[in-house]
DNA sequence: TCTGGGGTCCTAGGACCC
DNA sequence: TCTGGGGTCCTAGGACCC
């Protein structure tokens, strides 16, 4: 946005930020009301660490990212209810929340699975507080998910408002910041490390320079900020001063890199096992590419051992292959992922994780074909369509390329998973030798 | 025993070209 | 012997987000 546009936007810009409270934990509660008032945590893949906590779990002192084994005692004594992550459920609940929000303004930006920016620029003249409160109430009634809502003239200020809305008992989940005096008070009450865009590195640096709150930062010199925090810092500075620099991004641009990686449920040493896992990740990348109608030219595979086991020999390596023609076919990506993995695999290591990254992504209708190409791309594309159709209907892992394996020794551990309450998964026998 | 996964943007510096 | 300078592209690394 240029300066003229920006200053024009400033006349009326107004953003809402809706954030689902403790989202994954709240999703688990919607379908299991007995959990209300109880400490609930949701675990990362492999039930490794805590990635979501209800307020009661926070009150027990459980930290974000805490390894699960450290709180196993609490779980066993029933003080805490733990769930493996159930992304199908959370994705579906997220869709419902976003659908509900779009009833209130046509211009929404789905910022993450549990956050959404709203353009409220047309609503300056109405009673913003009632409107905001109505949004919160409606989402609660229609989806069962509690949300907090901050409203302010810029995205960064809406973030500030949202955080305070959640924290303050008085605000009770809704805070509208339009008056300069209120904005100033809010900035004063916001610690610098809680500002959107200030991570741990910058927070430490800024505190060293006596900047402890968002207000301190907002009165720093622009040149000083540019010098130490690049143009990104300057944008933040302006946003906190009320000058809108970040627009609402309603259309999600296609991703420039797509990565699928997982830690294995157990340590793997055999090439075949690592191959099966890696092939599955390649297929996931292919599916993600197809869903955004893209193809990729580069594929990178990496493997690593468990960096926490001090007694094991450590190994990390990666290999990138430039494919002759950009593709989004399971079969081709698995083929090249296999080649890449074989190039870096070394026997006698305990592998804990592998991953597939695809880059140099282009729209699928912009592919440059190779004269010497021997792949029947039409056939692949038709096959992938059929497979996607089956996957969408019957769920993942029902149809796959044989290289992905059926033994799945590497599969994720997920001992505490709730049912997929909202999406029916029909039963269908595994078809493994389709190709 | 057990420690997540998937993204974005910006900058500095080197290579290369004319 | 003298040893320019501007532009572009690429990459690695560092910061951030959820």
Residues of chain A with CATH 3.40.1170.60: 23-86
Residues of chain A with CATH 3.30.1490.100: 258-404
Q: What is the pLDDT of residues A235-266, one digit of tens each?
A: 999 999 999 999 999 999 999 999 999 999 88
Q: Which pLDDT score, from 0 to 100, does residue A405 have? A: 76
User: Taking the C1' atom of C17, which residue's CA lies nearest?
Assistant: A197
Secondary-structure class of domain A23-86 per CATH: alpha beta
Instruction: Report the C-alpha gap between A401 and A391 in whole angstroms.
Output: 12
**Among residues A106, A40, A49, which one has the least CA distance to residue A79?**
A40
Res. A381 pLDDT band, cuts 50 70 90: confident
**Among residues A179, A29, A34, A154, which one has the least CA distance to residue A89?**
A29
Instruction: List CB contacts of A147: < 8 A, sequence separation 6 or more.
Output: A18, A19, A20, A21, A97, A135, A136, A139, A140, A173
Judge if the beta carbon of A45 is closer than 7 A to nucleic acid strand B: yes
pLDDT exceeds 90 at position A419: no
Give mean pLDDT, residues A58-65. Answer: 93
Distance A253 CA to C6 C1' (A): 34
CATH code for the structural domain at A258-404: 3.30.1490.100
Distance A389 CA to B12 C1' (A): 47
Instruction: Report the C-alpha gap between A183 and A157 in whole angstroms.
Output: 8
Residue A198: nearest nucleotide (C-alpha to C1'): C16
In chain A, the percentage of residues whose pLDDT exceeds 90 is: 76
Judge if the beta carbon of A369 is closer than 7 A to nucleic acid strand B: no
**Among residues A276, A20, A315, which one has the least CA distance to residue A144?**
A20
Q: Which pLDDT score, from 0 to 100, does residue A402 have? A: 77
CA end-to-end span of chain A = 50
Instruction: Report the C-alpha gap between A326 and A359 in whole angstroms.
Output: 10
Judge if the beta carbon of A200 is closer than 7 A to nucleic acid strand C: yes
Task: Concatenate the DSSP letters of all residues of A50-64 into one string.
Answer: EEEE-HHHHHTTPPT
pLDDT exceeds 70 at position A71: yes
As given in the structure block, the two tokens for residue A247 are: 């627009």
Q: Which pLDDT score, from 0 to 100, does residue A406 have? A: 67
Q: Which pLDDT score, from 0 to 100, does residue A183 have? A: 98
In chain A, the percentage of residues whose pLDDT exceeds 70 is: 93
Judge if the beta carbon of A300 is closer than 7 A to nucleic acid strand B: no
Q: Which residue blocks in A301-376 are alpha helix, DSSP H?
A: 330-344
Residue A197: nearest nucleotide (C-alpha to C1'): C16
Res. A383 pLDDT band, cuts 50 70 90: confident
Secondary-structure class of domain A3-20+90-240 per CATH: alpha beta
Q: Which pLDDT score, from 0 to 100, does residue A59 have? A: 93
Res. A11 pLDDT band, cuts 50 70 90: low
pLDDT exceeds 80 at position A372: no
Distance A33 CA to C1 C1' (A): 88
Contact (CB, 8 A) for A404 and A334:
yes
Q: Which pLDDT score, from 0 to 100, does residue A407 have? A: 64
Q: What is the pLDDT of residues A15-53, one digit of tens each?
A: 999 999 999 999 999 999 999 999 999 999 989 999 999
Q: Which pLDDT score, from 0 to 100, does residue A50 have? A: 95
Q: What is the pLDDT of residues A195-212, one digit of tens each?
A: 999 999 999 999 999 999
Residues of A (99-138) placing their beta carbon closer than 7 angstroms to any atom of strand C are: 111-115
Res. A430 pLDDT band, cuts 50 70 90: very low
Distance A317 CA to C5 C1' (A): 41
Give mean pLDDT, residues A257-285. Answer: 94
Residues of chain A with CATH 3.30.70.270: 3-20+90-240
């Amino acid at each position: 946005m240029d300066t003229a546009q920006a200053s024009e936007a400033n006349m009326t810009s107004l953003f809402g930020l809706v954030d689902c409270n403790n989202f994954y934990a709240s999703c688990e509660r919607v379908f299991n009301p007995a959990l209300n008032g109880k400490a609930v945590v949701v675990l990362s893949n492999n039930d490794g660490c805590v990635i979501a906590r209800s307020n009661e779990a926070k009150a027990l002192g459980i930290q974000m990212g805490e390894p699960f084994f450290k709180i196993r005692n609490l779980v066993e004594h029933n003080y805490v209810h733990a769930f493996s992550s159930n992304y199908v459920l959370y994705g579906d609940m997220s869709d419902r929340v976003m659908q509900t929000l779009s009833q209130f303004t046509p211009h929404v930006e789905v910022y993450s699975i549990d956050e959404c920016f709203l353009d409220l620029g047309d609503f300056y003249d109405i009673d913003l507080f009632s409107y905001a409160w109505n949004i919160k109430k409606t989402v609660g009634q229609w989806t069962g998910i509690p949300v907090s809502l901050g409203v302010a003239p810029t995205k960064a200020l809406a973030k500030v408002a949202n955080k305070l809305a959640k924290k303050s008992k008085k605000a009770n989940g809704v805070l509208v910041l339009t008056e300069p005096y209120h904005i100033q008070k809010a900035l004063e009450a916001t610690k610098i490390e809680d500002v959107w865009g200030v991570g741990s590195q910058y927070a430490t640096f800024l505190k060293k320079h006596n900047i402890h709150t968002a207000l301190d930062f907002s009165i720093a010199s622009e040149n000083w900020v540019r010098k130490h925090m690049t143009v990104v810092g300057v944008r933040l500075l302006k946003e906190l001063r009320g000058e809108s620099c970040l627009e609402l991004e309603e259309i999600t641009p296609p991703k420039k890199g797509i990565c699928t990686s997982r830690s294995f449920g157990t340590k793997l040493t055999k090439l075949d096992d690592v191959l099966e896992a890696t092939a599955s990740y390649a297929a996931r990348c292919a599916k993600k590419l197809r869903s955004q109608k893209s193809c990729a030219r580069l594929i990178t595979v990496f493997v690593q051992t468990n960096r926490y086991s001090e007694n094991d020999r450590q190994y990390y390596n990666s290999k990138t292959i430039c494919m002759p023609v950009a593709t989004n076919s399971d079969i081709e990506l698995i083929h090249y992922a296999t080649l890449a993995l074989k190039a870096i695999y070394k026997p006698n290591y305990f592998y804990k994780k592998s991953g597939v990254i695809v880059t140099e992504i282009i729209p699928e209708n912009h592919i440059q074909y190779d004269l010497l190409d021997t792949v029947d791309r039409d056939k692949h594309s038709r096959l992938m369509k059929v497979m996607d159709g089956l996957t969408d209907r019957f769920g993942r892992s029902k149809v796959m390329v044989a290289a992905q394996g059926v033994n799945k020794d590497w599969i994720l551990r997920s001992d505490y998973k709730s049912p997929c309450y909202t999406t029916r998964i029909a039963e269908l026998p595994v078809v493994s030798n389709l190709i």
